Amino acid sequence: MSVSVKAIACTPGLHRYLVHHGRAADPLLEELARVTRAAVPELAHMTLPLEEATLLTFLANLTAARTVVEVGMFTGSSTIALARGLPADGRVLTCEIDSRFLELSAPYLERAGVADRVDVRVGPALTTLRSLPPAPHLDLVFIDADKPSYIGYWEELVPRVRPGGLLIVDNSLFSGEVVSPEPGTKAAAVHAFNEHARADERVELVMLNVADGITLARRLDEQDREE
């Protein structure tokens, strides 16, 4: 395949530039990232990058989302970013298996002014998703939890997203390891998901080489699919 490659390696200097000019600097989320590093240093790499937080808020606004489901809250950076893009009566239902993170995230949800828009469901996300109404009622979903379950989350969520609604999937390039993943690894699970999503005719999708890779998928309706 002879296509030109235009992606730019993101050096620390370029990342600072991107955060500054992309209006991603955010004292509250930066403080939350510091508190997360201090509390759970071994897990702090899971915190959403600032530029991705800006993107989530932007996309929630752009799609005029009101009803959002998130899979994988951790200490709440993405939850805050999504909730900030909703109207006052909008809601983010977020799934998190580890209740330890709730105490950490709660004051930041309050300070961000979005606590009343967020409904945290503690437990395995698949159980929570299966308890949701089956009809297509979601405007936006964000998938960012255990990689081997990505296909399961997708299969629960695609039918529940309204036509024109948006699915956002994080880590879809998984540090670049998806190109030739070792069998049985998280990268292999993400690659299997990427193959699954690519073949799914219920959506149109685009992959962004942003942060660790982000897949955006728009739910099609029957009319879109006939064209």
Ligand X SMILES: C[S@@+](CC[C@H](N)C(=O)[O-])C[C@H]1O[C@@H](n2cnc3c(N)ncnc32)[C@H](O)[C@@H]1O
Q: How far is the CB of 97 from ligand X (least distance, A)?
A: 4
Site string for ligand X, 140-159 (x = CB under 6 A): ----xxx--x----------
* C-alpha–C-alpha distance, residues 180 and 170, integer Å: 19
Shortest spacing between CB 155 and ligand X, in angstroms: 15
The whole-angstrom separation of Cα 168 and Cα 203 is 12
Nearer to ligand X among residue 10 and residue 44 (C-beta): 44
* Shortest distance, position 78 Cβ to ligand X, whole Å: 3
β-strand partners of 140: 68, 166
Q: Count of residues binding ligand X (CB under 6 A)?
A: 20
Out of 55, 69, 96, 140, which residue is the one contacting ligand X (CB under 6 A)? 96
DSSP category for residue 102 = H
Nearby residues of 80 by Cβ (< 8 Å), 6 or more positions away: 28, 29, 32, 53, 108, 109, 112, 114
User: Taking CA 69 as the corner, what is the angle to CA 125 and CA 113, rounded to the nearest 5 degrees?
Assistant: 115
* 78 forms part of the interface with ligand X (CB under 6 A): yes
Smallest distance from the beta carbon of 117 to ligand X, in angstroms?
16
CA angle centred on 40, ends 51 and 72, rounded to 5°: 55
Give all strands (DSSP E) within the chain, no chain letters. 67-71, 91-96, 118-122, 138-143, 161-170, 203-208, 214-219
**Residue with token string 């998130």:** 70
Residue 223: CB minimum distance to ligand X, A: 33
Among 24, 59, 65, 125, binds ligand X (CB under 6 A): 125
- Does the protein bind ligand X through residue 72 (CB under 6 A)? yes
Among the listed ranges 13-21, 40-48, 60-68, 196-204, the one in contact with ligand X (CB under 6 A) is 40-48
The SS3 of residue 214 is strand
Minimum gap (Å) between residue 118 Cβ and ligand X: 13
Of the residues 29, 48, 118, 168, which one makes contact with ligand X according to CB under 6 A: 48
Q: Which amino acid is at 192?
A: A
> Is 74 near ligand X (CB under 6 A)?
yes
Near ligand X by CB under 6 A: residue from 24, 26, 29, 47: 47
Residues that bind ligand X (CB under 6 A): 46-48, 72-75, 77-78, 95-98, 101, 124-125, 144-146, 149
